[in-house]
């Protein structure tokens, strides 16, 4: 397989990964998160990352066999010599978009986990203290639950 065909194959995998990441973003943005959906997306992402890793290893090995130096400069030169520098640049731009969206989703997941922990802490605190005083009136307590979500 030539370099152009290999880059095209990598691009298709990155496109599929970008689609999965966009679905993950949408799922994380919903008020009610579907854990099964997120688990399925995580499996899809893991599979695609694994396949991309295999493709990248193959590309790097071919690059080395052909005598190009390691790294981006060697890859750029190989693409230039193979007549597909635009495909290489497009692949690099797509990989950067995937990296950025994956990082953003990671931040969204961490924020969801933080909010869940705050809610659990609040509920645990509330379960340990009576909500009403001996006079039947609600006890006043400072709320640690943020209305900003």
Q: Is 88 within the bounds of a domain? A: yes
| Residue from 25, 2, 3 nearest 91 by CA | 3
Percent helix / strand / coil, the chain, rounded to 5:
75, 0, 25
Classify residue 144: in a domain, yes or no: no
List the CATH number of the domain containing 34. 1.20.58.300
Q: Which residue's entry shows tokens 């194959």?
A: 9
What's the number of domains the chain is made of?
Answer: 1
CA 18 – CA 38 distance, rounded (Å): 15
Asked if the structure places residue 42 within a domain, the reply is yes
**Is residue 41 predicted with pLDDT exceeding 90?**
yes
Task: With respect to residue 138, please indicate whether it lies within any of the assigned structural domains.
Answer: no
Question: Rounded distance, CA 110 to CA 136, Å?
Answer: 39
Residue at 136 is within a domain: no
Say what percent of the chain tops pLDDT 70. Answer: 90
What the block records as the tokens of 11 is 């691009």
Q: How far apart are CA 13 and CA 18, in angstroms?
A: 9
pLDDT at 146 over 70: no
Which tops the pLDDT comparison, 69 or 128? 69
> Tell me: the pLDDT tens digits for 91-108?
999 999 999 999 999 999
Is 95 domain-assigned? yes
DSSP bridge pairs for 138:
132
Asked if pLDDT for residue 141 goes beyond 60, the answer is no
Residue 56 has pLDDT above 70, yes or no: yes
Alpha-carbon Rg for the chain in angstroms? 24
Q: Is residue 133 a part of any domain in this protein?
A: no
More confident residue, 1 or 108: 108
139 in a structural domain: no
Phi/psi of residue 142, nearest 5 degrees:
-75, 135
Range of the domain at 92: 3-127
């Amino acid at each position: 397989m030539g370099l152009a065909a290999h880059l095209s194959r990598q691009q298709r995998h990155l496109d599929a990964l970008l689609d999965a990441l966009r679905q993950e973003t949408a799922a994380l943005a919903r008020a009610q998160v579907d854990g099964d959906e997120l688990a399925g997306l995580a499996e899809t992402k893991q599979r695609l990352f694994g396949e991309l890793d295999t493709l990248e290893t193959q590309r790097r090995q071919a690059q080395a066999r052909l005598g190009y130096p390691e790294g981006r400069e060697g890859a750029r030169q190989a693409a230039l010599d193979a007549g597909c520098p635009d495909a290489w640049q497009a692949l690099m731009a797509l990989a950067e978009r995937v990296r950025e969206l994956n990082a953003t989703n990671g931040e969204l997941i961490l924020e969801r986990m933080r909010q869940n922990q705050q809610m659990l802490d609040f509920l645990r605190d509330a379960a340990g203290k009576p909500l009403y005083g001996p006079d039947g009136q609600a006890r006043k307590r400072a709320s640690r639950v943020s209305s900003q979500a």
